[in-house]
Structure 1
């Protein structure tokens, strides 16, 4: 049987993140962190399996939220449950408000590291969901959670997509029970969400 090449994912040394200023939870200081993380010779692609067990590196993960405000001015956020298929096994059965995933060496091409990051984010979104509404996207912060095994080896970059209508739907089989719910409902059931979702919901809407 042919050997399947292992996915190579984009990582930065954890020491670089610490040098920029370690934090636990959510930081809105995008300009302090993201440009510096996406430049320099220490940005590299490494085997995903190895990186999942090595907290000396942080895998950069776009984490994209979709927000819709209805006619009564109530904010709704897209949320879903993770199934038992592919992806991060340690997060299965948890609910999430973030869409995204690893930046792969397959995303690399001409352009800057920022271009590669953006391409990876676009690919991950297109794989997971279908967007059938105009939206505006901007980066709003970073997520770090060293209190979980998953969090120790990942660093989230939080993007907010403000959509004109709730025209967002699941595309991957691994995403189930998806749809927009009022922020108050999500906060009331926050213990059912993965840790990154809990952090970002409290930081942005709590």
Structure 2
């Protein structure tokens, strides 16, 4: 791959994140963080291969959770197993409730003021198909400095509250996919990647 072809991903300085207030796990203080991080002064695009090993920056990752409430009021969440072709190799074979991935410089045309939202829309379109009425709500952020992969990423969690449990994977590496009752998943947290486990406990374990 030539230098010109190296993927450039959206990052913010870890120092700025610490300045706002470092946390471990899940935080629902959405505006407190995003108002200061998602600004032209803090966001930049840098080579992904370098960023994966650089704790000086946090790669911003949209992490969308599909939630469906049935007629009895029980909550169900879309979940799947990551196959070997799915992005981050350190997460393969883990169950996940998050759809999303890195925001690329390709998501930031010169007239775009919000590359993060563009990147999230692209990731959703690439990974799943859903047509039911829905509402998208930013629920919080995830930070995990206790793992190798977590130290260089910062997740922005969105709940996509969908009226019908109709979400289909577009990629072969999204395996064993479908909606499961939240209460069932809360008893099997060990099956899930760290971010998913954190979200399940923080959003639904109350």
TM-score range relative to shorter protein: over 0.9
Q: 2 CA distance for matches of 1:65 and 1:51?
A: 25
Q: TM-score, normalised by structure 2?
A: 0.96
1:20-72 CA distance string (max 9 Å, x none) = 00000000000100121011423210000100011110000000000001111
Q: CA deviation at 1:137?
A: 0.3
Unaligned runs of 5+ in 2: none
**Residue 86 and residue 77 in structure 1: after superposition, are their counterparts in 2 closer, same or farther (change >3 A)?**
closer
Q: Deviations over 1:93-127 (max 9, x none)?
A: 00000000111000002131xx2111100000111
- Cα separation, 1, equivalents of 2:186 and 2:39: 36
> Any idea what SS the aligned residue of 2:140 has?
strand
Q: Tell me the matched-pair count.
A: 203
CA–CA separation in structure 2 for the residues paired with 1:97 and 1:111: 29
Aligned equivalent of 1:127: 126
| Mapped partners of 1:167, 1:85: distance in 2 | 23
Distance between the aligned counterparts of 1:168 and 1:48, measured in 2? 29
Return the offset for 1:181.
Answer: 0.2
1:28 corresponds to 2:28 = yes
Over aligned residues, Cα RMSD in angstroms? 1.1
1:164 aligns to what?
Answer: 163
Q: 2: CA distance between counterparts of 1:156 and 1:37?
A: 12
Displacement over 4 Å in runs of 4+: none
| Partner Cα distance (1:34, 1:42) in 2 | 11
Q: Give the alignment's TM-score, normalised by structure 1.
A: 0.96
Structure-2 separation of matches of 1:123 and 1:137 = 15
User: Contact between 2:86 and 2:174, CA under 8 Å: does it hold in 1?
Assistant: no
* 1:111 matched residue in structure 2: 112
* Structure 1, unpaired ranges of 5+: none
- Given that 2:143 and 2:155 are in contact with CA atoms closer than 8 Å, whether structure 1 keeps it comes out as yes
Separation of aligned partners in 2, 1:25 and 1:65: 16
Residue 72 of structure 2 is matched in structure 1 by 72
1:83 matched to which residue of 2?
83
